[in-house]
Amino acid sequence: MSDAILLIEDEALFGAELVRHFRRSGWVVRLARNLAEARVALVSERWDPLVVLSDMSLPDGNALDLLEDVRKLSAPSEWVFLTGYGGVADSVRALRLGAYDFLEKPCDTARLDLVVAGAARSARTQLRLQDQVTEQTRIFSPDAYLGRSGTAAGLRSILAKLAQVPFSALLLAGETGTGKGLASRILHHSGPHWQSPLVEVNCAALPRDLIESELFGSEAGAFTGARGRRRGLVEQAQGGTLFLDEIGELDLDLQAKLLKVIEDRRFRRLGGSEEIRVEVRVIAATNRDLVQRVKEGRFRGDLFHRISVFSLEMPPLRDRLDDLQDLVPLFVSEFNAKAGKTVRIVPEAVWARLRSHNWPGNVRELRNVVERCVLLSEDEVFPAHWLQLQAEGVAPPLDRSARENGLWLPLDGSVSLDDMERYIIQIALERANCNVTAAARLLGTTRQTLRYRVQKYNLKCDH
């Protein structure tokens, strides 16, 4: 889209004056003397000017009818209307249809230039946003889930089908690092909601005492410090997709509110009495066994059955090792570009070690390993000695002193952060004879915080 303006004006002298004025200002100008000529330019030829400056009443109809038709084409042009007689009904309709401004003739030239310049800036902003959304749609197509294995091909096919299904809720299950976040973006950007917002929430990362207000928003005075109305993440996802990662960590009372959002399309802000209607689809993700958590009373059965009508299990990397041939070069290219490296040769010995590893951290672990090797490379050969792939799990302490006074963890990408935290808490509990208060003291935290972590990781300890 160039800096172009379409003038729709039936008065010959005034139209010619506008053409000269905007051409002197550097605009590419096109003049239409009636709605038929303007329709040919905007609809038939799909010409996209930054700004349309139009008379309201033309010999062959009202320009608002043309605006309404053009808006259906998702054209980012901004419309400014000029008229010799102002009508309240027309001005209201113009603004409702998304017109940028409504001016009465005669209009001061400086005022007109100011309004047109503002409309042009708005149109450029809309165009940039449209380009970004289009680029994200291209990036997050089903083909973004790389892999030559039959498992990967099957998952791409399922993602393509699910993206076109008008589901209200969907569950992504699988181990940490298997690509649940990528799958959620593919489902959003490849479907009919691609122009609507995608709001991502990590339920485990939000503080427990703030998660309700973060999700559902709050009214002024709902709690200490709530000075005004605040829209929550559910409301921000209006018309689009809400991605709830680690949904198994939600408290039971919040699970009930989430169920109401999915089933009734309604919720209340924290401290509010008015129900708010929302159209949003929910994609939930978990690396937990939700069936087991339902049996333990830690997850609502009705919510589980509601979100698992459509369910997709993300396969671990160890079940699709053929995909290493596609993933490794992708990550090598990514980190070559970021770090200015030139790695291009992956020796067969490296491939053998990659194929023999169990990948407990899945694709996330692979990406971390490739990042380390590329960043520390010295030439075009992938450095095998920086792989540092350990056996699955956490290695034991090296000696008695280490066992008594500390512990050892491999920092090579082979163990996820969650696994490290789980292991540290388990060791602290064992050394404190399952006394949560004593274990909290060893870890420098509070008893309440530690109890939350014990429940989060389902650690077994009689105390």
**Matching CATH number, 317-386, of 3.40.50.1820, 1.10.8.60, 3.40.50.300, 3.30.460.80:** 1.10.8.60
Q: Which CATH architecture has domain 4-136?
A: 3-Layer(aba) Sandwich (3.40)
pTM (predicted TM-score): 0.60
Q: Are both 146-313 and 317-386 of the same fold? A: no
CATH code for 400-456? 1.10.10
In this structure, which topology does domain 146-313 adopt according to CATH? Rossmann fold (3.40.50)
Q: What is the pLDDT of residue 95?
A: 72
With contact defined as beta carbons under 8 Å apart, do 393 and 358 qualify?
Answer: no
- The tens-digit pLDDT sequence of the chain (463 residues) is 458 999 999 889 988 999 999 999 889 999 999 999 999 998 888 888 999 999 888 888 888 889 888 887 766 788 998 876 656 677 777 777 788 888 888 788 888 999 999 889 888 887 777 666 556 556 778 888 999 999 999 999 999 999 999 899 999 999 999 999 999 999 998 888 777 889 999 988 877 778 888 898 888 766 666 666 778 899 999 999 999 999 998 989 889 999 999 999 998 888 877 888 999 999 999 999 999 999 999 999 999 999 998 999 999 999 999 999 999 999 999 999 999 999 999 999 999 999 999 999 999 999 999 999 999 999 999 999 899 886 444 444 444 444 456 776 666 555 667 778 888 888 888 888 888 888 888 888 888 888 888 888 778 765 4
Structural domain boundaries of the chain?
Answer: 4-136, 146-313, 317-386, 400-456
